[in-house]
Amino acid sequence: MALILDALFSSVAFSHLVVDALNGLRAVLLAYLSRPLGLSNTAVGFVSTVYIVSASLIQPLFGYLADRFSARWVVAGGVLWMAAFFSLALLIPGQVALVFLIVASLGSGAFHPAGTMQATLSGRNHLSGRETTATSYFFVFGQVGLFIGPLAGGPLLDRFGPAGLLVFVAIAIPVGLNVAWQLRPGLELRVVQPIQKPTRSTDGLYRKNTLMLFSFGLMVFFQAWVQQNMITFLPKYLSDLGQSATFYGLLAATFMGGSAFGNVVGGNLADRFGKRRVASGALILSSVPLFLIAETGLSLWLFLLVPLAGTLTGSVHSIFVVLGQRHIPAGMALASGLILGYIFTSGALGTLFAGYLADIWGLLPIFRMNAVLVVFASFLALTLSKEE
């Protein structure tokens, strides 16, 4: 509770909420625009991929800038940049709106590495070193934003069209200015001592053993792919069935709400029982609701299965980020940018391929494929060091 009440942490956390609320609007907005713009599943997957990859590839650069200079304007500037270009995407009609939407994503890429660093350092300072728990709190704010975005965005689109989403921009501006104030010189958290390098006997497995590194990367890729498939194509699937933006926005929001809940639970359990054990267990369990989503069709069972799938797949996100911060030999914000960039980019590239397959097979086989991918990821989690 002391962490949540800390002014600096809460300003960064609420900034994360706003940034990811705007990110969460992407899939709903694309589903809404797919009919007037004639976007196929491949096109929706392509735009989502470019959006995510644009934000992801720039993250290491902004992480380096935060390590080298200051996190203040990287964090605040990211929020304000995103608000400005997202508003242009909503106000300018036609396919040019998609260009502004992609440009807006660069603000998300700026915010995440430095924001994650500030959250992790807050955990070290305020929670007796429980960095995974603190990072999970930070990410849960982002996932609440991903929940609120489609939940509120669907009804606003139905009633007012894209211009109705400007309410999110109006909220983002004062939030961005506030975090700039809270991170003013003298208050911003910095790494005083470098993170301990992995030893040859334990954590050195990640550097010494190429197969181990490959397995970790592949596990992260599969989990990120599944998450992005659900975020991108669940609204499109329901839209194709003739459901309203309000309906598919609500159901998409339950997936992100489940992810937010799972992130907190997974972070706490990982600090108590180990990252390896929690990651493997959560991923294997997630295969059940992911498979059943494809089998139930359009039914009320989706309101149970979708959030459950979100809870289990989202519970490992903070685990992956903290492992990346710990084992990537770089500054903390740069390491955060590298692991987050990899998570988002790999998931986006998987979604691009899934969009192509969906135009051939349909979307239900993609949902079945999700269940297979998390099973593979679960077994790969067992290759993590037993010390984790």
Tens digits of per-residue pLDDT, 343-382?
888 888 898 899 889 889 888 999 999 999 999 999 998 8
Flag whether 191 is in a domain.
Answer: no
> DSSP states of 180-247 as a string?
HHHTSTTTS---SSPPPPPPTTTTTHHHH-HHHHHHHHHHHHHHHHHHHHHHHHHHHHHHHTT--HHH
Assess contact for 148 and 21: CB atoms under 8 A: yes
Assess contact for 324 and 339: CB atoms under 8 A: yes
Is the pLDDT at 173 greater than 90? The verdict is yes
Is the pLDDT at 207 greater than 60? The verdict is no
Is the pLDDT at 200 greater than 60? The verdict is no
The total domain count for the chain is 1
Flag whether 59 is in a domain.
Answer: yes
Flag whether 371 is in a domain.
Answer: yes
Separation of alpha carbons 296 and 63, rounded Å: 43
Flag whether 193 is in a domain.
Answer: no
Task: Give the tokens for residue 169.
Answer: 């921009």
- φ, ψ for residue 244, nearest 5 deg: -75, 165
Is the pLDDT at 195 greater than 50? The verdict is no
Flag whether 372 is in a domain.
Answer: yes
Percentage of the chain surpassing pLDDT 70? 87
pLDDT of residue 303: 92
Instruction: Give a three-class secondary structure readout of 19-41.
Output: HHHHHHHHHHHHHHHHHHHCCCH
pLDDT of residue 206: 42
* Residues 22-44, mean pLDDT to the nearest whole number: 84
Separation of alpha carbons 168 and 21, rounded Å: 8
Flag whether 224 is in a domain.
Answer: yes
Instruction: Give a three-class secondary structure readout of 267-283.
Output: HHHHHHHCHHHHHHHHH
* Residues 269-274, mean pLDDT to the nearest whole number: 84
pLDDT of residue 201: 47
Q: What band does 193 get if pLDDT is binned at 50, 70 and 90?
A: very low
Is the pLDDT at 208 greater than 70? The verdict is no
pLDDT tens-place string over residues 52-87: 888 888 888 888 888 787 778 889 999 999 999 999
Is the pLDDT at 190 greater than 80? The verdict is no
Is the pLDDT at 102 greater than 90? The verdict is yes
* Residues 218-225, mean pLDDT to the nearest whole number: 93
* Residues 19-27, mean pLDDT to the nearest whole number: 90
- Look up the domain containing 280 and give its range: 2-186+200-381
> DSSP states of 112-181 as a string?
HHHHHHHHHHHHHHHSTT-HHHHHHHHHHHHHHHHHHHHHHHHHHHHHH-GGGGHHHHHHHHHHHHHHHH
Flag whether 387 is in a domain.
Answer: no
pLDDT of residue 165: 92
When mean pLDDT is compared over 3-12, 102-111, 329-338, the highest value belongs to: 102-111
In CATH, what number is assigned to the domain containing residue 178?
A: 1.20.1250.20
The neighbour count for residue 160, using CB atoms within 10 Å, is 12
Q: What is the mean pLDDT of the chain?
A: 83
Assess contact for 179 and 75: CB atoms under 8 A: yes
CB-neighbour burial class of residue 57 (10 A; exposed 0-12, middle 13-18, buried 19+): middle
Flag whether 259 is in a domain.
Answer: yes
pLDDT tens-place string over residues 305-350: 999 999 999 999 888 888 877 766 666 678 778 888 888 888 888 9
pLDDT of residue 351: 86
pLDDT of residue 211: 73
